[in-house]
Structures are given as structure tokens and as C-alpha cells.
Structure 1
Amino acid sequence: MDFQQASAYTEPQHLLRDIANRFDRERVAISFSGAEDVVLIDMAHREGLDFNVFSLDTGRLHPETYAYFERVRDHYGVAIELLMPSPAAVADLVRAKGLFSFYKDGHGECCAVRKIEPLRRKLGELDAWVTGQRKDQSVTRTDLPLEQEDRAFSTQAHRLLKFNPLADWSSRDVWAYIRTHKVPYNELHDQGYVSIGCQPCTRAVGPHEHERTGRWWWEEA
């Protein structure tokens, strides 16, 4: 399928079925962390599609997030592979800069150790991955397609595709689906959290704030 043809998919379920048909099960997976991702897991479950699921465990998530992982695991009977950072790399970072260097130096270095490198290792095993990213989540995603070559993680020897079945959905669409189908969600959402990451780097947002303002807010100050 040509990338432009992906726009023909009017329902995420159609795209999920196509992905399941195109790729060997062991070479594609759903990336899971938030409300959008569990919608994809629910859709796949209802369609009888057996996707592998992985999530990043940075070691600094909220207790509610770990409890959420277990609820999703139990609800769908799905094994969630938790990707963890290199203990040596974390130890080196903490030894050199302490536990909260991101408040001074920005989140990039810590995320590279705790998130990007474990993700890169996993994606090196796959031909495609499926995310719950949406166009309206941030200005960097306004042109997000349903299907794309993942240039951030592809190499000359390994071409990786990335699928975003909910690219055209809004937050309202996501939560309407969750409520209609009684999909489990992170209890932090009931406390005003919208975009949820690591505990030190996530805060609740006000009713008129953009969802991403709850992440790394000090960098905008």
C-alpha cells in the first residue's frame, strides 16, 4: 500500500486488520502507554487480532500507571512486554548528574537513556509498530499520516514502518470510545492528568490548557 493510499482508511479497525494481514505477528507490535493506545488494544481485541504489545518502563512511572498496566493485562488477557533502560546507563547518568538533572538540563538526556534507547532496541526487532499518536496532540504532529516510514528509527539496513490509526481522531473521540466500550484507563486521568509520562515530569492540567502542557512544563517557563 502506498503511503498516500492510507488515507482511504476511514476507520482505525480497517487499518489494524490490514496491518495484521501484512506483517508477521512477531514483526509488528502496538506501543502502549496512554488512553489512545488502549483504544487500539481494545479495537484489536474486538476484531480478534492478536497483536504483541510493549510499553516503556522507565523506572519512574506513577504507581497508578503500573496498576493500569496490570488492569489492561488482566482485562484483555494480553502480555505486555515492559522495556527497561540499561541499568549501567541509568547508574552512570545518576552518578554524574543526580536523580533530577532534567529540571536543570532539560529532559532530552534522561529520556534518551530511559526511553529512546530501550525503544530503539525493540524497534530493531520489528518491521512495523502501531502508535496511538494524534495530529492534534502537538504542533510537531499536525501532519501525522496514518502510515509512514519511521525515519527516526529506520537505518540503511532496516526499514521500519510506523502506523498511527488514530491520527485523525480528537481527544473527545478517544474518550467517547473509552466510555462507550468501558475501556480501562489510567486513574490519573480522573485527577486532571491528560498526557501522562514519568512521575517527576508530569502534572495535572487545567480545563483550558493544552494536554501537552502537563509534560516538561518547566522548560517553557
Structure 2
Amino acid sequence: MKAQDIESKIDEVLSKVRPSLAKKIEYSIDLIRKSEKMALRLDPENGFYNTFSGGKDSQVLYHLVKLAGVKHKTHMNLTSVDPPEVIRFVKHHYPDVELIKPRMSIYDMAKKKHILPTRRLRWCCAEFKETSGAGKVTLIGVRKQESARRAKREEISTDIKGNRNEETFDQWSEHEEQMVTCVGGKDKILVSPIIYWTERDVWEFLNANGIPHCELYDQGCTRIGCICCPMSQPRQKTKEIKRWPHVKRNWLKTIQWLIDNGYIDHNFNDAETGFHWWISGKSFDKFYADEFMQSKIDFDI
């Protein structure tokens, strides 16, 4: 059975999990239902703009939205560096999810911007992910437990005219009327129904309800995202390029183009060196000192 076709009633779901998780499920569903009024006002035809990645958190969100019975449409933004296993999983188990192809590949975007995406300049998310759902109420599967940055998030994030605010639903609903007139263009409202969930909660929900997950989790991956994501650790990136060598080949071509056209001026002799600097996550000075200066030291003196 496809994950998309799994139909459950709320009472059945609640009876299969720990009482503490049951309370979180009820809270999440309640938050989604309370937010639907705003979603329909901004997009009467489709309601919520539900995001999907093929990862475990987005799966939970997908099924909670179904349990809530609200109007929505689910989308997955592709980046051209998506693991093929994830795309196959989504196409098979969630065929109703709209796959949005990028207007240009991440490699061509790097050429256009004349720079590679890095941890400090992560333009890839801005170009391929964050612009989706503009002018709508967008559901996202963010959890506080994931990182220190996300721990500061609240269940409602308003991004109105470049001013980001984090609020609880009660705070948000107090000025809902004024917000309707503000939202437009790229402004949007983000709702995080599983913000208080733990990783244990996520896996318990999926397993208790017999919801299949992507094979990559069973093969050692702890997260599912873009191959060689700038936010990944160097060790993780090294594993990924061994598994998906085509991504390294494409980045080598891109880096060589940037070198040949004078956009990378670190005196790299070849694209291979530039690639290893990029996945190291280090500044160029640190990378050069570790990789080249260290090798010139004569330890036998």
C-alpha cells in the first residue's frame, strides 16, 4: 500500500501511541484547523500550501494534514541535487505531491551568481525553497529539537515585508485582521505544527501507523536533504559524493567554469582542489594552511 492511501481516524491514531505523543498529535491537528481560516482567506481555491521533502518530518506533517481534514495542496521543490532514492520514494508513495522542478539547475545558478553556495551564503535555499508559498499560509515540518537556530522558532512565523516574527497561535490571532491586508507578493505566514515534536515522536507516529519511510534512513542517513548541502558536515559530504559521484562531476565542471572566468580567485590550480576546499567548510586561508602549508613543514629537522 502506498503511504498516500493510508487512511486513519484520529481516535485510532491516538490509541496507538504514548499518551504524551497523543497530546502532541491533538495539539498539532488543532493548530492546523485553527490556521485554516487564514489559509482560505489568502488562497480560497487551494487553502494551505503544504511543503514536502520526502523526509520523515514532512511525512508526519502530510498525514497530520490529512487527519485534520483541511483544504490544502502539497508541493515538493526540487533542486537538481536531490537524492534519486528520495524522488523515487515520493513518486511511488506520494504521487499526489506536486514536484516543482527548478527553472535552472543549481550548477547554472552558481554560474549566474558567480559563486558557490556556502554555509555563510546559502543562496540555494533562498532560490529553490524559501520563495515557494509566497502570499499563502505555508505548513512546514520544522522542529525545535533539530538545531539551536530552530529552537528559537515558534509555531507561527510571520514574514511580512522583510520583518520576521515568531509567535504562538494566540499572539498571532490577536492581529490576524491587520495581517491579511499586509500579506502580498513574497510575504507569507509559516505554520509549524510539529514544532514541539522530538525525533522519537516522529518515528513512533510513522511506525505505529505502518507508514513506510525512505530507504536512505535504513542505510545510515540521519537526515534527508540535498546532496552536498552547505550545512552538512564535511564527513557527510564525503560519504555523499562516493554514493552519488555524478554530483561531484557536475560541481567540478561548475568550479572549473568559475575558475576559467575569473570568479574564483584563490589561485586554485584545478577544479579538484577547489571542490575539496568547498566541501571542507573552511575559509580559504584555513584550508590552504591545513592542506598546503602543513605539507611543507619538515618534521625531521
Q: Does 1:46 align with 2:62?
A: no
Aligned to 1:55: 76
SS at match of 2:138: strand
Deviation sequence 1:127-162 (CA, Å, 0-9, x none) = 210111000101101122111213696797634211
| CA distance 1:85–1:152, shift in 2 (3 Å) | farther
**Partner residue of 1:83?**
100
User: 2:257 — aligned with what?
Assistant: none
TM superposition shift of 1:15: 1.1
Name the SS of the counterpart of 1:166 in structure 2. Answer: coil
Q: For 1:1-221, what aligned pairs fall within 5 Å after superposition? A: 11-24=27-40, 25-33=45-53, 34-74=55-95, 78=96, 80-87=97-104, 90-91=107-108, 93-94=110-111, 101-102=116-117, 106-107=118-119, 111-112=122-123, 114-124=124-134, 126-150=135-159, 158=184, 159-201=187-229, 203=236, 218-219=280-281
Equivalent residue, structure 1, for 2:270 = none
- Would the aligned equivalents of 1:39 and 1:183 in 2 still touch at CA under 8 Å? no
Superposition RMSD on alpha carbons, in Å?
A: 3.3
Cross-structure match for 2:267? none
How many Å separate the matches in 2 of 1:88 and 1:197?
16
Query: For structure 1, which segment, 29-38 or 17-26, has the greater mean C-alpha deviation from structure 2 after superposition?
Result: 17-26
* 8 A Cα contact 1:127 1:160, kept in partner: yes
TM-score by length of 1: 0.71
Structure 1 residue runs of 4+, over 4 Å off? 94-98, 151-157
Q: Secondary structure at the match of 2:94?
A: helix
8 Å Cα contact 1:135-1:143 kept in structure 2: yes
Q: Do the aligned partners of residues 197 and 93 (structure 1) sit closer, same or farther apart at CA in structure 2, a change above 3 Å counting?
A: same
**TM-score, reference length from structure 2:** 0.54
Which range moved further: 144-153 or 161-170? 144-153
Q: How many residues end up aligned between the 2 structures?
A: 191
CA contact (8 A) 2:140 2:193 kept: yes
AA aligned opposite 1:183: I
Query: 2:33 & 2:213 partners in 1: Cα distance?
Result: 24
Instruction: State how far apart, in whole Å, the 2-side matches of 1:177 and 1:121 are.
Output: 30
Residue 197 (structure 1) shift: 1.2
Between the aligned residues of both structures, percent identity stands at 20
Query: Structure 1: where are the runs of 5+ without partners?
Result: 1-7, 205-215
Which AA in structure 1 matches 2:209?
A: H
1:49-89 Cα deviation digits (max 9, x unpaired): 33211112001111111012113324xxx3x2223333287
Question: Using a 3 Å threshold, how does the CA distance of structure 1 residues 218 and 172 change in structure 2: closer, same or farther?
Answer: farther
Inter-partner Cα distance in structure 1 for 2:151 and 2:68? 29
Q: Residue 37 of structure 1 aligns to which amino acid in structure 2?
A: S
Q: Which runs of 5+ in 2 are unaligned?
A: 1-23, 165-181, 238-277, 288-301
